Chains A and B, each alone.
Chain A
Amino acid sequence: MSFDVARVRKDFPILEREVNGHPLVYLDSANTSQKPVQVLDVMRAHQEKYNGNVSRSVHTLGTESTEAYEGARAKIAAFIGAASPDEVVFTKNSTEALNLVAHSAGQHLRLGPGDEIVISEMEHHSNIVPWQLLCERTGATLRWFGITDEGRLDESDLDALITPATKIVSLVHMSNVLGTINDVSRIAARAHEVGALVVLDCSQSVPHLPIDVRTLGADLIAFTGHKMLGPTGIGVLWGRFDLLEQLPPFLGGGSMIETVTMTGTTYAAPPARFEAGTPPITEAIGLGAAVDYLTGLGMEAVHQHELEITRYALDTLSGVPDVRIFGPSSPEGRGGTVSFGVDGVHPHDVGQILDALGVEVRVGHHCARPVCARFGVPAMTRASFYLYTTTDEIDALARGLDQVRKVFG
């Protein structure tokens, strides 16, 4: 069955609106995705009919809410191939999930001077700063992979970078700027050989690719709901259960305890151990609905659609004068996120003129300043695609870039 983008678009009411007198052309899904009615309806119905707090109420509403919340966890576990729903920890977003790992794994591993953490130059700030903070707290050293001119991870010094001193390797699975999908199999094999944990920031990959944590090579992954048709305020940390079981808590409070006395506390088993306080219940249920929606379409079909759009976009943009694409120039091993520069025009100005034409792109450093620095620019313009993106929208982007060149020519 071929992927019917016109039918998919009908599920997203926002795609019918106009911006500045033009039909909305939403090319910022790597920033946040739009939400289908199927997700919005489930969240509204939950608030209207079932709302109660989870995991603590004996009454009917509390029980129904708990079932819906835990049901969402099970859907997400199945979506990523987790061995059990207990391997899925709900967080606020990817950032919180990565901070959780930095705190809890850092403490578990008793990191100190002489220990090393390895990341890459391609990371989002959320996979840089938590590790810098951890190094400041413990005296461990942060090291990183560079980026090649083609926008791929430079693995040439793999064996020198990952050594027995390495305790944690945390990498982005798909770059939010370059679109690069990192095949981390060699790095993960090397990391495991020296006994290091492998963490993957899957914020940009889980929404767009079929992901199976059993074959990914990671011990822990982080992703966020709002980039995959779900609401903001809900993210996921997946971890191997035998690992999660050894990690100490991150935040303390209600729901994460086994028993509390005035002199001490014992902790619940995962995932509850890492979910202190009332969680974002409706948001978790909304994410479950988003996963249902994606599963219904099939992640392989979503991926194939995005491959076609990406190929079309790379072809189209490489034909626009004065445009320079950052990152892999062919659709192989990359996702539907394309960053570029327009010679002589600052990305802010590019974005402003595109917005006047209803074309919504992101401009700036994309929370990944080191990537911009690597390519010698202070900022980039980024178009990012999803299951609802059409080739007509890519054409609108190209027309917008012609307008940019007219204004600044």
Chain B
Amino acid sequence: MMLDGLYQEIILDHYKHPHGRGLRDPFDGEAHHVNPTCGDEITMRVSSDLSEISYDGLGCSISQASASVLYELLQGTDVAEASGIHHAFVELMQGRGQIEPDEEVLGDGIAFAGVAKFPARVKCALLPWMAFKDAAARAGVDVGVSPEVKA
């Protein structure tokens, strides 16, 4: 079934057993993002040194698993590393399935390669990443320019 590319075991695992879920204090920046077409929501909190990332949300397996993967990848990194990973993930999502992801950089995030082939779901996968970017900016951290998303 075509869906094998979308619902990878890794994604379903992160959805059923999310890592780092739940809002925690203290934090320096917070952002709440919604997907207006489906009502999915995510709240992301970030400390200015990226040592603490926390989140909570409501939504589909793709958006919620993506938040869990983000937490795993970015928690405890420095700004340069976080920017690189952020950029790589956004680029992967915009690649329409044409980009070969680098597991060294994206870890479990490579499971989202298949999502890029489903334009209606790219926004779901990106929701936590865009919320993270805004929360980081509010914490005074610039994770760089990521190409705007038109899904």
Contacts and interface: CB of A to CB of B under 8 A. Distances in A.
A348 B60 contact: yes
Given A348-B59, A348-B121, A348-B124, A365 B39 contact: yes
Given A378-B59, A407-B7, A20 B41 contact: no
A202 B61 CA distance: 35
Contacts of B41: 378
Contact of B40 (A20, A348, A353, A369): A348
Contacts, number: 53
Interface residues of A, number: 19
B38 interface: yes
Contacts of B118: 352
A354 B7 CA distance: 13
Contacts of B105: none
Given A356-B1, A408-B12, A378 B40 contact: yes
A363 B58 CA distance: 15
Nearest to B118: A352
Interface string A42-83: 000000000000000000000000000000000000000000
B60 to A, nearest CB: 4
A378 B58 CA distance: 8
B121 A352 contact: yes
Contacts of B7: 349, 352-353, 407
Nearest to A363: B38
A400 to B, nearest CB: 12
A168 B39 CA distance: 30
Interface string B35-71: 0011111000000000000000011111010000000
Interface in B1-47: 1-3, 6-7, 12, 37-41
Nearest to A380: B39
A369 B39 contact: yes
A407 B3 contact: yes
A379 interface: yes
A239 B37 CA distance: 32
A346 interface: yes
A349 B60 contact: yes
Contact of B6 (A347, A352, A364, A408): A352
A117 interface: no
A372 interface: yes
Given A352-B121, A407-B7, A20 B12 contact: no
A364 B38 contact: yes
Interface string A18-35: 001100000000000000
A61 B11 CA distance: 60
A349 B124 CA distance: 11
Interface string A326-368: 0000000000000000000111110011001000000111000
Contact of B38 (A345, A348, A408): A348
A408 B121 CA distance: 17
30 contacts: A20-B2, A21-B2, A345-B61, A346-B40, A346-B60, A346-B61, A346-B64, A347-B38, A347-B60, A348-B38, A348-B40, A348-B121, A348-B124, A349-B61, A352-B3, A352-B6, A352-B118, A353-B3, A353-B7, A364-B38, A364-B39, A365-B39, A372-B39, A378-B40, A378-B41, A378-B59, A379-B38, A379-B39, A379-B40, A407-B3
Interface of B: 1-3, 6-7, 12, 37-41, 58-62, 64, 118, 121, 124
Interface of A: 20-21, 345-349, 352-353, 356, 363-365, 369, 372, 378-379, 407-408
Which 8 residue pairs spanning A and B have beta carbons closest together? A348-B60, A346-B60, A364-B38, A378-B39, A356-B3, A365-B39, A379-B39, A349-B61
